[in-house]
Amino acid sequence: MFPIRPRVRTGAVIAAIVALTAPLAVACGSGQAGPDTLVIYSGRHEGLVGGLLDRLGQATGLDVEVRYGGSAEMAAQILEEGAATEADLFFSQDAGALGALGEQGRLATLPARVLNRAPEKFRAADGSWVATSARARVVAYDPGQVREEELPESADDLLDPRWRGQIGYAPTNASWQASVTGFRVLRGEAGARAWLTGFAGNQPQRYQNNLAVLDAVDQGQIALGLINHYYWHRKVAEVGEENVNARLHYVGGDDPLALVNVAGAGVVEGNDSPDAALKAVEFLLSEQAQRYFADNTAEYPVNADVTSARHDLPPLTEVQSPDIDLSSLSSLQETLAMLQEVGLS
């Protein structure tokens, strides 16, 4: 079983998220950008996209300065700085942070020629941002402990007592938090809280990140793990599929467990370099950049004509996911509060 649109508005400005998340850690190129410098606030990790953003400068001739941090924190910083921000482009790890800035009017409307490079479900309805790559939530499983016919067909199957203590998740991971926001959008506040309470009661195992979850499944320490698809594909590329015990299961359908989220970009409203920022977005949607995502990060390119030469990914068009407006994943503050309430933060 291998497509995304209600809308939940932020209950407060996303800057309040800072109080609930780790302190902002920003890597700056110079601290004070020059007037001819394109400044990118990146919520994507330097280890993943640093090489690509180096190519951006080379391919476009732009003088690029990148400041790295978490997507929610970088969005909060743009809001806090207001019209004085040096950010020209926001490059986000997830759609929620982009949606939050769009709701606050801090992103400029992108032209149709740019928006149309991505499928409709992978761009903002108001044209304020466009996806650059996509990732699917999947269930990693140990085939030594779980037969294929026993694999969960929905999120509710994870509440079965048979999985008590046998499911791994990464509570501080942004993708886990976004998936919980997806639960809230799809099932409402009461429905999401009920599922989270049941999940917490099944004593899931906490890990530092998705890779640690995958390793625990791979080593047979747990039966199931909630991760993004690309962690498995990177591991296979590194050590060979014959040396990876864990396997992937796509739940599919309109289940919250099948969420496909995106990384994306938006041009900051009123920035000093609008033409350069737009050129950067176009680069991120170019064949060169899309191939980088497909081959280097094992994400799904949003350009359907680009496929990976390195990773054997099922086509994105065949990966089923809930019909949800990805901009509605902006209410992270409420998600973090709910996770704290039920003991899953």
Q: Do domains 14-134+261-311 and 136-258 have the same CATH topology?
A: yes
- Given a cut of 70, whether residue 83 has pLDDT beyond it is yes
**Nearest CA to 74 among 135, 137, 28?**
28
pLDDT for 316? 87
3-state secondary structure of 42: strand
For residues 101 and 269, give the distance between their C-alpha atoms in angstroms, rounded to a whole number. Answer: 10
Would you place residue 72 in the very low, low, confident or very high pLDDT band (cuts 50, 70, 90)? confident
Other beta carbons within 10 Å of 51: 11
Contact, 234 vs 161, CB < 8 A?
no
Phi-psi region of 164 (alpha: psi -120 to 50; beta: other; left: phi over 0): beta
Domain range summary for the chain, segments of one domain joined by +: 14-134+261-311, 136-258
Average pLDDT score over residue span 224-233: 97
Nearest residue to 103 via CA among 333, 331, 336: 331
Mean pLDDT (whole number) for 57-61: 92
Q: Is the pLDDT of residue 176 over 50?
A: yes
- Give Cα 53 distance to the centre of its chain: 18
Which of the four pLDDT bands, split at 50, 70 and 90, describes residue 304? confident
Give how far the C-alpha of residue 211 lies from the chain's centroid of Cα atoms, to the nearest Å: 15
Over residues 27-49, the mean pLDDT reads 75
Residue 32: which pLDDT band, with cuts at 50, 70 and 90?
Answer: low
Q: Which of 14-23, 51-60, 160-169, 329-338 is predicted most confidently?
A: 160-169
- Report residue 130: phi and psi, to 5°: -140, 145
Per-residue pLDDT reduced to its tens digit, 250-274? 998 899 999 999 999 999 999 989 9
45 is an annotated ligand-binding site residue: yes
Rg, Å, the chain Cα set: 19
Please name the fold of domain 136-258: D-Maltodextrin-Binding Protein; domain 2 (3.40.190)
Q: What are phi and psi of 246, to 5 degrees?
A: -65, 150
Mean pLDDT of 316-339: 91
Give SS3 for 246. Answer: coil
The per-residue pLDDT of the chain, averaged, comes to 90
Is 231 annotated as a binding-site member? yes
The answer on pLDDT for 278 being more than 50 is yes
Q: What is the pLDDT of residue 178?
A: 92
Each residue's pLDDT tens digit, 88-136: 999 999 999 999 999 999 999 999 999 999 999 999 999 999 999 999 9
| pLDDT, tens digit (0-9, with 9 covering 90-100), for 6-31 | 333 443 444 444 443 444 444 444 45
Q: Please state the three-class secondary structure of 97-157 as a single string.
A: HHHHHHHCCCECCCCHHHHCCCCHHHECCCCCCEEEEEEEEEEEECCCCCCHHHCCCCHHH
CATH number of 14-134+261-311, picked from 3.90.1150.10, 3.40.1130.10, 3.30.1330.120, 3.40.190.10? 3.40.190.10
* CA dihedral for 158, 164, 167, 170, sign (positive or negative): positive
- pTM for the full predicted model: 0.85
Tokens of 224: 């199931």
